[in-house]
Amino acid sequence: MRFSQSIAVVTGAGSGIGKATAMRLSDEGAKVLLVGRTKGKLEEASAEINARHPIPVADIFPADVTVEEEVMELAKYVKEQYRDLHILINNAGGSKSSKLLDTSAADWDMIQHVNLKSVFLVSKHLGKLMEEGAGSGNEGSRNRAIVNVASLSGHQAGAFIPHYSSAKAGVISLTKSLALELAAVGIRVNSVSPGFIETPLTEDGLQNEKFVKSIQRNTALERVGKAEEISNVITFAASPEASYMTGTDLLVDGGWLIK
Ligand code: NAP
């Protein structure tokens, strides 16, 4: 129960890695607030989580994390409902394939906003709440951490995802800046960079046998990863076990980069 009496917010928690992370955090004692744009997905995920516990531990807040007003409403809700925040998982993200020369300015902005600006906005508004809590008496000594979900693509260029690769490289860099800023108040900030993972985001690609074979060939462990294999690492980075770790990126790519 590494997160007993902790409050956690997970963005993009209606599916994939975010949902697996919310489940894992709540299994280990956290109260979790699931954030995403689609209410139905959040309701399904929270019902699945709550079915594992004698009393409800998951709540939902539908919001678009690229819109500052909605993120401010989220921060207000967290303050009113929970008064404090210990764990923030900035996981919402998404991609779309196109070569740089074919990318519209609108698509560039959309991918930058959902993957990078969202981390800035949510960290800014919820980070203030975490900072306030960190400065308050006994509660102040509780483990507090932010984990940002970056990507293998933030380490290695992708010819068909220039907007996504550059946004995720930005997440890795932003993580380090925020870690420096928040170290003084005892909030750790790290990122986790998944390789190729089976989730709704990669569903279409995984229908293509040739594509799957090429991933297997290029990955040392010769397979695609599972959402739980990423949520395990995110949960570790958020936990008190990682108490001396801040400003770093954990690459979880099945050995893609070493091949
Ligand atoms: P996913 O199942 O599609 O999860 C992404 C979640 O983000 C969705 O639940 C989506 O829900 C939410 N989201 C998207 N835009 C949002 C917005 N503007 N505001 C609020 N929520 C938003 O895919 P996933 O693979 O688990 O992705 C999770 C994270 O892992 C992403 O940051 C992704 O870039 C990263 N990642 C994934 C892989 C992989 O291979 N799967 C590899 C590297 C990195 P709504 O549409 O309902 O809002």
CA-CA distance, 197 to 113, in Å (whole number)?
22
Helix axis angle for 118-134 and 162-183, nearest 10°, is 20
Of 227, 29, 17, give the one whose Cα is nearest residue 143. Answer: 29
Write phi, then psi, for 197 (nearest 5 degrees): -125, 140
Question: SS3 for 149?
Answer: strand
Question: SS3 for 150?
Answer: coil
Which atom belonging to ligand 1 lies closest to the Cα atom of 153? 43
Of 94, 87, 97, give the one whose Cα is nearest residue 64. Answer: 94
Decide: 12 in ligand 1 pocket, CB within 6 A: yes
Ligand 1 centroid vs 12 CA: distance in angstroms? 5
> Above 90 in pLDDT, residue 135?
no
Rounded to the nearest integer, the mean pLDDT of the chain is 96
What mean pLDDT do residues 2-12 have? Answer: 97
Tens digits of residue pLDDT in 192-208? 999 999 999 999 999 99
Q: Is the pTM of this model over 0.95?
A: yes
Domains and CATH numbers, the chain: 7-197+226-252 (3.40.50.720)
Which atom belonging to ligand 1 lies closest to the Cα atom of 168? 34
Contact 250, 237 (CB under 8 A): yes
What mean pLDDT do residues 93-99 have? Answer: 95
DSSP annotation of 115 reads: I
Decide: 194 in ligand 1 pocket, CB within 6 A: yes
Contact 34, 60 (CB under 8 A): yes
> Above 70 in pLDDT, residue 110?
yes
pLDDT at res. 159: 85
Residues taking part in catalysis: 164
Give, for 145, the enclosing helix (H) or strand (E).
strand 144-149
> Above 90 in pLDDT, residue 139?
no
Ligand 1 centroid vs 19 CA: distance in angstroms? 10
Tens digits of residue pLDDT in 156-180? 998 899 999 999 999 999 999 999 9
pLDDT at res. 141: 78
> Above 80 in pLDDT, residue 136?
no
% of the chain at pLDDT higher than 70? 98
Write phi, then psi, for 31 (nearest 5 degrees): -90, 130
Given the structure tokens 């009393």, which residue do they identify? 55
CA 155 to chain centre: 17
